[in-house]
Structure 1
Amino acid sequence: MEYLIKNAIIVDAKSDHHLQKRDILIENGIITNIDSTIKVSDKSKVIELVNLHVSAGWFDSSISFGEPGFEERETIANGLKTAAYSGFTDIILNTNTNPVPDNKGAIRFIKSNGDKAATSIHPAGTFTQSADGEHLAELFDMSQDGAVSFFDYKKPIKNPNLLKIGLQYTQRFDAIVQSFPLEASISPKGIVNEHINSTQLGLKGVPSLSETLQISRDLAILEYSGGRLHIPTISTSKSVALIRDAKKNGLNVTCSVAAHNLYLTDDELHSFDTSYKLTPPLRTKEDIKALIKGVKDGTIDMVTSDHNPIDVENKNLEFDHASYGSIGLESCFGTILSKLDLETAINALTKQSQFNLKSSGVEKGSIASLTLFNPSIEWTFSTSDILSTSHNAAMLGKKLTGRAYGIFNNKKLALHKL
């Protein structure tokens, strides 16, 4: 089918049409023409939306759904629909399922369940068997079947020798190891940021030291072993400084930050709303300033929604006993654009190549993998905006700027009626 995107401002620094208003013609999934005005036949589907902007498709490096094992939280089908309507053409699915994906059969299952969606799903495989931290999983076999990185979801790699061996081994097939930045022994029962608020509220704290200590160790191992290391969802100013120095020294390290850690501080905890029980925890205004600077100067490679649906039975509990996590796909772009300028935001959302994934630009002859959005709309995130099955949303009630219309990807158009 032929699609014509009308009067769209292109946001793609690598494109000859950057920040220009253009028509974009798509035929059989390929961008065949970009011009100030394009005339087409009556058979073409014309897409014309208010203040329409188009960029290369957005990428989210940390997504959880539930299936298999926790379908009541989110199925793969509904999760991918939510991702598409939220502007994401590509997502990495985390390993917090039951069973965990620690073999090639599990990777094939995930890919086959998402192969007909507009949003492309890229599974992570566990770093260790059963994600138990003891023995390496079938890393090579999983990579051959489509696993794009290896991660025991939100579990630190306790054994430094295991991380060293994993980084050395994965160099043979250019794979990425993810290491969650938490030295848990520093805060064995901590659940929120260790600061004034944790003391006032009587909640056990997680000091920033628990994050930076793990990062320091992991960077030292990376320097020794080589390989490719990704540090997901950093949250402290010292973490930014450590990774900035490591990159200057030539280490092959990337990192991400969760969108809500750019917006929310631990002041939110006074409500005792368990939607704010997150890992890593919400930190301070000073940390937010450093994280935003890190995104702007490229120290932080990408921003993720860190979407993690949790069923009511595990969220509507006393704060100490509730599960960690918040959904974030629907509010992700609005959260980011409330804190960053448009070009920086789009750059932070289009870093597929960091995970060896192909990224198509907005150019004639390219595969059409595009996100359609309105960057100026101001709105308040409410329950009616939630597309996910679960409703544990830390950004509920927050005023946001910018919203996705949807995507064109995999020869499919997925538009959300705002």
Structure 2
Amino acid sequence: MNLILKSARIIDTNSSHHNATKDILIENGIISKIAKNIENINNYKEIELENLHVSQGWFDSSVCFGEPGFEDRETIQNGLNTAAKSGFTSVCMQANTKPVLNNNSDIFAIKGRSANHAVSLLPVGALTTNSDSLDLAELFDMLQAGAVAFSDYKIPVKNPNLLKIALQYTKQFKAVVCSFPLEQQISGKGVMNEELTSTKTGLKGSPNLAESMQVARDLFLLEYTEGQLHIPTISTKESVELIREAKKKGLNITCSAAIHNLFFTDEMLSDFNTQYKVNPPLRIQTDIDALIEGLKDGTIDMVTSDHNPVTIEDKNIEFENAAYGTIGLETAFGALNTLFTTEKSVELLTKGKAIFNANTHCIEEGQTVDLSLFNPETKYTFAKNNIFSKSKNSIFLNHDLRGNVYGIVANNKHVL
């Protein structure tokens, strides 16, 4: 692949060209020249787009594609195309498939189905067999096959001894163990945040305590084992405070927040719209403020779209019976760029790469090309025609966003 990006504003704090507007010459997947004006002597394809900005390729630590088993929700190929058009050059695919990704052959199969795409798919293996929280899955074998982490998507590890053993075992090969922060006995049958809105609507609520109690438990286990733990999609002020203190102690802990939990409060559920039914649930403004502060001071390591396609049949039913989840790849940048500066948004979309062993390439001559292309100034109302996913369950429908994505250049390919 040979092409020239014309008049691209470079957003990369690790690059000597940060904040400069330059032409970028790419030859055979390598950045061969960055200069004010590059003459196209070889008649390469030129890409010239309005207010073009480029950054290191974006990364998402939690997406669901359904395949195998739930292709009606999403397929791997369309999921990867969606990721590319949304600016992501690498994504971690969760194990909530059918069958669950339990062993090395499952991981090999997923890697095979995603080969030769512009987006790098990084499989997440199940932490426990069939994600049933009873026995550890074949962690080391899956790691050898290409798994980058282990997680039972949205399913908490009920048995603390099982998590203790997982943290001790994975220390030997430095794998990332993920533990979903929910104490189910406290949460009970809660379907939204337990607060004023749940009282008004009559919907059963799940309190902040259900999350923070599990976080506290997991941090005690982490301190005891001296392992490596990632807590995905925290959503409460108390969780932020607990993790902040754990980091001060020097524990090897990382965490993420879902972008929609930064954007919406639980008041959005006042009219029982199931598009806003997510897990963890939307909280109150105090929690959102704590999450944003946690992202600013580094307590929260990264954001995720928590992209989870759900069919219309599973969403357009009674609220208590509707499925949790929202798609989020298409809106990730536009939402973040509404809340933060463009530079901070890019930082949040690239920061998690090192934790999950995703390739990192700064924008310099001689580096492998791995770029996201975007215009941060465009303002628009997100609509169904902006959705690339097979499922259309977006929490951001009809909401105003800032910044649209042109595509990516990565893995010696480009998708625009």
Task: Give the shorter-chain TM-score range.
Answer: over 0.9
> Partner residue of 1:376?
377
Amino acid of the structure 2 residue aligned with 1:31: I
> Partner residue of 1:121?
121
Cα deviation for residue 356 of structure 1 reads 2.0
Amino acid of the structure 2 residue aligned with 1:322: A
Question: What pairs with 1:87-102 in structure 2 (closer than 5 Å)?
Answer: 87-102=87-102
> Partner residue of 1:59?
59
Cα deviation for residue 386 of structure 1 reads 0.7
> Partner residue of 1:50?
50
Determine whether 1:268 maps to 2:251.
no
Cα deviation for residue 42 of structure 1 reads 4.8
> Partner residue of 2:394?
393
Determine whether 1:362 maps to 2:363.
yes
Question: What pairs with 1:64-83 in structure 2 (closer than 5 Å)?
Answer: 64-83=64-83
Question: What pairs with 1:3-402 in structure 2 (closer than 5 Å)?
Answer: 3-350=3-350, 351-402=352-403
Equivalent residue of 2:339, what SS? coil
* CA distance in structure 2 between the partners assigned to 1:35 and 1:157 by the alignment: 52
Matched pairs, number: 415
The Cα offsets for residues 373-406 of structure 1, whole Å up to 9 and x where unpaired, read as 1111111100111111101111101100111111
The Cα offsets for residues 155-197 of structure 1, whole Å up to 9 and x where unpaired, read as 1111111111101111111100000000110021001000000
- Runs of 5+ consecutive residues of structure 2 not aligned to the other structure: none
Q: 1:82–1:329: 8 Å Cα contact kept in structure 2?
A: yes
Cα deviation for residue 38 of structure 1 reads 1.1
Q: 1:2–1:43: 8 Å Cα contact kept in structure 2?
A: no
The Cα offsets for residues 224-282 of structure 1, whole Å up to 9 and x where unpaired, read as 10111010001111111111111111111111111111111111101211111100000
TM-score by length of 1: 0.98
* CA distance in structure 2 between the partners assigned to 1:298 and 1:53 by the alignment: 25
* CA distance in structure 2 between the partners assigned to 1:319 and 1:297 by the alignment: 36
* CA distance in structure 2 between the partners assigned to 1:213 and 1:115 by the alignment: 41
* CA distance in structure 1 between the partners assigned to 2:262 and 2:365 by the alignment: 35
The Cα offsets for residues 57-77 of structure 1, whole Å up to 9 and x where unpaired, read as 000001001100000000000
Cα deviation for residue 41 of structure 1 reads 2.4
The 4+ residue runs of structure 1 with deviation greater than 6 A are: none
- Larger deviation, residues 204-213 vs 338-347: 338-347
Amino acid of the structure 2 residue aligned with 1:413: H
- Larger deviation, residues 21-30 vs 84-93: 21-30
- Larger deviation, residues 336-345 vs 201-210: 336-345
* CA distance in structure 1 between the partners assigned to 2:74 and 2:354 by the alignment: 27
Cα deviation for residue 211 of structure 1 reads 0.5
Q: 1:193–1:206: 8 Å Cα contact kept in structure 2?
A: yes
Q: CA RMSD in A?
A: 0.8
* CA distance in structure 2 between the partners assigned to 1:324 and 1:386 by the alignment: 19
Cα deviation for residue 125 of structure 1 reads 0.3
